[in-house]
Chain A
Amino acid sequence: MGRTGLYIIILWYLVYVLVISADAADTKHLNIWPMPQSVSYGYGSLYLSNDFVLKTKGSKFADASGILKDAFFRTINVVKATHVIEANTSNINPTFVLKGIHVVVLSPSDELQHGIDESYKLHIPANGNPLYVHIEAQTVYGALHGLETFSQLCHYNFSSRGIQVHQVPWTIVDQPRFSYRGLLIDTASHYLPLPVIKKVIDSMTYAKLNVLHWHIVDSQSFPLEIPSYPKLWDGAYSISERYTTADAAEIVSYAVKRGINVLAEIDVPGHAQSWGVGYPALWPSPDCKEPLDVSNEFTFKLIDGILSDFSKIFKYKFVHLGGDEVDTSCWQSTPHVYKWLWRNGLNGSEAYQYFVLRAQKMALSHGYEIINWEETFNNFGSKLSRKTVVHNWLGSGVAQRVVKAGLRCIVSNQDKWYLDHLDALWQGFYTNEPLANITDPKQQALVLGGEVCMWGEHIDGSDIEQTIWPRAAAAAERLWTPYDKLAKDPEQVRDRLSYFRCLLNQRGVAAAPLEGLGRAAPEEPGSCYVQ
């Protein structure tokens, strides 16, 4: 190396120093959502190579179905979608250019199950040649979270016209606080077209949510094909507002490839009126179309058939059996049901218990563990299968009682985590603590996590995204980030959440302003970052 070489080194050093000082000023804030477990960073700045590559040397994961590869390309696409890249990184000193990501996955398995290791380590060195981002994870799904975090460290730079990573070196060690971080969608109140569901799934990955609770059917409509009982989807709103089993399998596979489990629900016996459109025998009588006829063996045969068909599509270890809002009064007023109750020595609430427990046994026989809404616990908690997970919704304090009784629990108290409650603000989503008043570590471990619920009475393809986001993100951080790192005052995270909602917008997700009620329109002209 002659004089020129030395000159170039000095020049680059100057550029480096200038870049640092220029960038340190406006990127001192951490804008990662949800906040990782531990983060350290420096003051350097690097470019992303025009041909940024994925390297998996040393990884035990073969990626036969392309989960990692596809996720890598999605990551690059969302990073590059914000602006047209003009920078030519081949003209830049390679010691400032990240050539790619080196992902090492230690487990060869691509099975996604509840409680899977989702941890990852992300390291971006400040120097080296060649320079690679390093992600190490136990499972491919942990690596996917690492890629998402990485994407949030990348910024389009208007001076260099390329993607830059500021504040290198980065070292991030991360894992979720809860293993169940859910979002409920409801396709019975309104049918949600496949692209809409897929977009919701994509957006969930940005916030590291990992369970899509699919409340498929309810009183209003039955959109899903059930091959064993093909008339069930006669209960769909129309001939075209339906999902084939292939569609459902496609949704599941789409979600799993993104590290998201799909929890299917049939809500029995209280939310099932639409079943009777195809099979009127399920209705106790024309005046009493709900709850399902407890006295008719066909009811249970049908549930068994549905669960059997489910088990071929929905591979998550849980199935949701509902069990909420069961008003048994019309069982009593329907002569043949009343007779059956009398013959079996049951009153209405005992028949409700009988129904739920019998459905539970069926689910168990198909290899599922069960999730039930909290009324089942509130009414006959001690009778429930020990494999039951109680899904709270009515109010706070339920999780406490559930875990005390030794059952597992998911928190969704409606006052804070029901997205259809437009007056539930993001601050409340953020501060709702699933472990409130639960101090015993053994009991704490029984709280699997929480879920925000997007009930669909007033939700369809036109407004689902802005009703979910950004409030669901506030809950997502509560469920992901270590308790100690969560802000005590949600206003401390407002700017970062605002930044995340603008990031969602850049990725084409219609996330609403933070200001105002859920999905409120912006009040006036202004920057995304302050609304």
Chain B
Amino acid sequence: MLGLSKSMSLRPRTAVGLFPSTRPSGVIVSPKSLVQTKCSSSSGSKNGRVAITTQGGEGVFGSGGPMKMSPDRNPCSSVGLRRELMPKHVAAILDGNRRWAQVHGKELDYDAFCYGYLDLADLCIKWGIPTLTCFIFSTENWKRTKEANNLLFGQFKQCLENSSVNFTRKGIKVSVLGEKTELPKDLQEAINQVEDETKSNSKLELNFAVNYGGKWDVVEAIRNMSKKAKAKEIKLQDVDEALMDQLLSTSGLRVSDPDLMIRTGGDQRVSNFLIWQMSHTEFYFTDVYGPDFAEPHFIDALRWFQQCDRLFGK
């Protein structure tokens, strides 16, 4: 009667329920995408295709498992996607790991977090996205407990070592962005090894942001500027946006600026991730917890992205 959505809760969400232009709870989608995406009005329903999941983070799509693809020559059209509108660079923050563990009564574990990014990498290869940047550890995450950080570093190192053969087989070039010198020595060695082994691969640029911050990246660019200045004089007038682009940690990528950023877990913020590079990036926020983020959710994100009107200020 009061028009309140069942999905309203104490978790951070976008506006729902009270306002005529209601969106599925938890997802910021442009009004146009509501026409295309079939959304169930009751969250948690397993009958409709929904862009978001319930409070508990259950993946909801048809049977609840990964969508079965028809053996179509053009898989994009079968799911309403257009190959020419695919993002060239996707940034991802698979947040919600801790809450997912609490909901499922499990101990905190970052395996699902790390391997979730590798599954996302597979999806990017499948859907023809050449660059994926994943946020593993922020410069601000040092505030967490030492045990949690050591657990993350240890499991991430294990993930890299276990997957190095697959990286080569799948043509994935791995790079790590961030201040590596502050990381544990064994992790640094594992990073150097996997970067070295995969440097000539070209199917997918897979970047892990470890001990990374957008502000750190800008300060590092100035440090790089100083080094270049020492080699050949740079005048003050040479400092412009184009020079900064060349000196940031993403300068070596095919496309340095992400077209789409996906953040799971319900938090609607950028959290100091690629701040310079994401000036015109489209943000897709979803309530799905990171470990539950699967292909159907990714396709929904891509479908939403393809309907965005990207004007770049015009």
Do A and B bind?
no
